[in-house]
A and B are shown apart, each in its own frame.
Chain A
């Protein structure tokens, strides 16, 4: 039974993703563009499962990798005229290289430097992108071509949604295999007790770096996807709020489980839409307050997030 569960999970996720277009085009405040946003954010948040969920390392700079993906795609497809898929791959490779180099240095020291270093790196990169003529300063870059599959351009929300849903499914399976592998249990061990893990011969620094690289690649792919969907990138992609949003998604959804990413993305994007739709006016204040409340409450009441809810309920029922 326990062995069948991941497959059941994949089926539920696939079925959910298949149903989204049918449902989202028929109910009031969901649209296909919110669906695209959900799958892209879920892809970005997925990388935080090994890093934050298992290894307990908090990154507050995922938007930097999201931006690296977006801007690499934009530069290569508009300036160099390369195929969008090359941009996506190049962005992922660049993000991996940057994360690998940063991780090599950051993880030499014990402590909570990752959160500070990623925060600082994200801010510095955002400030540079905002000033460099090559990245179009604060105006950003526009005119990106759409992605294509088998010669068909993916324009409009629905085709992009299918692509994103496919990538999310592949990403979920890949991260799930990683979580269940030897690497996954070593990451968990390092998160539970770094000292004991090191005493068991586990190279914590190298492990954390691997998880960081995985998170950077997924954020970058989400950023490239976003760039070719919106056909435009600007420095706000690298904003602190985007990093925080990914962190909220994985915390609310459940950071110890791959199902946390889609669950969290669905919940947080829904919350955004509800708050924006119900409360007239600018909405920014209500949105922020709602984010804050949801994040704090989920950490206090549901530390394993929505994905941990069934287990928590089972435990409570069993305790009785």
Chain B
């Protein structure tokens, strides 16, 4: 029983990173109506750039800054060179386009960084602490703290800034927002860059726990999807709650059953939610507040 609580703690910490990844997916979907299948590759790009920079001796803060810049630039490029030119295309083509972008980023990462895993040390050195009978790496605390800070920053941005208000207006009613002079493309660009930054943050804090390689993005992006869909795809708070849930389910299944069934359970949950409650598990609870 005590161990179960330990798994829940680890799950919440990893889940908080899925939450920020999923938050980026929900944000882009809300603002642009695009399901961005390249989000996982932004996670990989952020984590891998960070790990490679750290390995080559950069100070962690500098390495993180490089990783964030590279990923944000990649997000902007995706919007400017791939999504904007196809803005008149239907959703179906946009979905396939982001899949194409995902493969492309993965391929480029393989060309640039090679196929090897790269290692980055834990923030502030290796520490373990004991909780509920299991030993937990201090990096998990960093995960939770950084994710919480990132989510708070996004919340502040959405509620306090002009672009944030534009994003919420577009999400609420696209036609009316356009009539009010909000530029969907420019706002979509901002949303995608924020999503890329969120993904990179997730990648960076996870890098010491799960050393990234060029293919690391797909599973992480899928966790982010599961998070966003559990939350109903349109709700930032829902995506965060969904991410935490995915993390806990994953950690508990790994701890109590076997790591082999982890993916089957998480994706099974995703299938079940899509089939039974396509509006998301948590959407009723948070709809009015976002």
Chain A positions near chain B (C-beta within 8 angstroms): 52, 56-58, 60, 102, 105-106, 108-109, 111-113, 115-117, 119-121, 123-124, 127-128, 130-131, 240, 244, 247-248, 251, 282, 284-293, 295-296, 299-300, 303
**B100, B102, B107 interface centre (most CB from chain A within 10 Å):** B100
Chain A residues within 8 Å of B274, by CB: 106, 113, 116-117, 120
Chain B residues within 8 Å of A112, by CB: 35, 91, 95
**Shortest Cβ distance from residue A118 to the other chain B in the assembled complex, whole angstroms:** 10
**Shortest Cβ distance from residue A198 to the other chain B in the assembled complex, whole angstroms:** 17
Given A120-B274, A124-B270, residue A292 in contact with residue B100 (CB < 8 A):
yes
Contact with A along B92-113 (1 / 0, CB 8 A): 1101110111111111101100
Chain B residues within 8 Å of A300, by CB: 82, 85-86, 97
Q: Which residue of A lies closest to B97 (CB)?
A: A299
Q: Are the C-beta atoms of A292 and B106 separated by less than 8 Å?
A: yes
Chain A residues within 8 Å of B101, by CB: 292, 296
Interface size bracket, B side: 35 or more
Chain B residues within 8 Å of A58, by CB: 92, 95-96
Q: Once bound together, how far apart are the Cα atoms of A109 and B105, in whole Å?
A: 32
Q: Which of A57, A60, A109, A286 contacts B111 (CB 8 A)?
A: A286
Contact with A along B257-290 (1 / 0, CB 8 A): 0001101100110110011101100000000000
Q: Are the C-beta atoms of A123 and B107 separated by less than 8 Å?
A: no
Q: Once bound together, how far apart are the Cα atoms of A81 and B276, in whole Å?
A: 38
Q: Once bound together, how far apart are the Cα atoms of A100 and B210, in whole Å?
A: 39
Q: Are the C-beta atoms of B268 and A296 separated by less than 8 Å?
A: no
Q: In chain B, residues 218-236, which have Cβ atoms closer than 8 Å to a Cβ of chain A?
A: 218, 222, 225-226, 229
Q: Which residue of A lies closest to B82 (CB)?
A: A296
Q: Are the C-beta atoms of B263 and A289 separated by less than 8 Å?
A: no
Q: Are the C-beta atoms of A120 and B108 separated by less than 8 Å?
A: no
Given A124-B267, A247-B99, residue A291 in contact with residue B107 (CB < 8 A):
yes
Q: Once bound together, how far apart are the Cα atoms of A285 and B106, in whole Å?
A: 8
Q: Once bound together, how far apart are the Cα atoms of A305 and B201, in whole Å?
A: 37
Q: Once bound together, how far apart are the Cα atoms of A106 and B111, in whole Å?
A: 38
Given contacts A60-B99, A292-B101, 13 further A-B contacts (CB under 8 A): A58-B96, A124-B264, A124-B270, A240-B218, A288-B107, A289-B107, A289-B108, A290-B107, A292-B107, A296-B82, A296-B97, A296-B104, A299-B96
**Shortest Cβ distance from residue B175 to the other chain A in the assembled complex, whole angstroms:** 15
Chain B residues within 8 Å of A119, by CB: 222, 225
What are 19 A-to-B residue pairs whose CB atoms are below 8 Å? A56-B91, A106-B278, A111-B278, A113-B278, A116-B270, A119-B222, A123-B222, A247-B96, A247-B99, A248-B100, A284-B110, A285-B110, A288-B110, A289-B108, A290-B107, A291-B104, A292-B108, A299-B96, A303-B93
Q: Once bound together, how far apart are the Cα atoms of A295 and B86, in whole Å?
A: 13
Q: Once bound together, how far apart are the Cα atoms of A282 and B214, in whole Å?
A: 14
Q: Are the C-beta atoms of B271 and A120 separated by less than 8 Å?
A: yes
Contact with A along B43-87 (1 / 0, CB 8 A): 000000000000000000000000000000000000000100110
Chain B positions near chain A (C-beta within 8 angstroms): 35, 37, 82, 85-86, 89-93, 95-97, 99-108, 110-111, 115, 214, 218, 222, 225-226, 229, 260-261, 263-264, 267-268, 270-271, 274-276, 278-279
Q: Are the C-beta atoms of A284 and B115 separated by less than 8 Å?
A: yes
Q: Are the C-beta atoms of A295 and B95 separated by less than 8 Å?
A: no
* Complex A-B, nearest 6 residue pairs according to Cβ-Cβ distance, in ascending order: A292-B104, A289-B107, A285-B110, A288-B107, A295-B100, A124-B267
Q: Which residue of B lies closest to A120 (CB)?
A: B270
**Shortest Cβ distance from residue B83 to the other chain A in the assembled complex, whole angstroms:** 10
Chain A residues within 8 Å of B111, by CB: 285-286, 289
Chain A residues within 8 Å of B99, by CB: 60, 244, 247, 295
Chain B residues within 8 Å of A60, by CB: 37, 99
**Shortest Cβ distance from residue B18 to the other chain A in the assembled complex, whole angstroms:** 15
Chain B residues within 8 Å of A292, by CB: 100-108
Q: Once bound together, how far apart are the Cα atoms of A292 and B78, in whole Å?
A: 12
Q: Are the C-beta atoms of B268 and A57 separated by less than 8 Å?
A: no
**Shortest Cβ distance from residue A91 to the other chain B in the assembled complex, whole angstroms:** 21
Q: Once bound together, how far apart are the Cα atoms of A289 and B214, in whole Å?
A: 12
Q: Once bound together, how far apart are the Cα atoms of A124 and B262, in whole Å?
A: 10
Q: Once bound together, how far apart are the Cα atoms of A117 and B268, in whole Å?
A: 10
Q: Once bound together, how far apart are the Cα atoms of A290 and B108, in whole Å?
A: 10
Q: Which of A57, A102, A286, A303 contacts B275 (CB 8 A)?
A: A102
Q: Once bound together, how far apart are the Cα atoms of A303 and B8, in whole Å?
A: 47
Q: Once bound together, how far apart are the Cα atoms of A141 and B285, in whole Å?
A: 46
Q: Once bound together, how far apart are the Cα atoms of A111 and B214, in whole Å?
A: 31
**Shortest Cβ distance from residue A292 to the other chain B in the assembled complex, whole angstroms:** 3
Q: Which residue of A lies closest to B112 (CB)?
A: A285
**Shortest Cβ distance from residue A305 to the other chain B in the assembled complex, whole angstroms:** 11
Given A288-B110, A292-B103, residue A115 in contact with residue B95 (CB < 8 A):
yes
Chain B residues within 8 Å of A113, by CB: 274, 278
Given A116-B225, A290-B107, residue A295 in contact with residue B96 (CB < 8 A):
yes
Chain B residues within 8 Å of A284, by CB: 110, 115
**Shortest Cβ distance from residue B7 to the other chain A in the assembled complex, whole angstroms:** 19
Q: Which of A116, A124, A282 contacts B35 (CB 8 A)?
A: A116
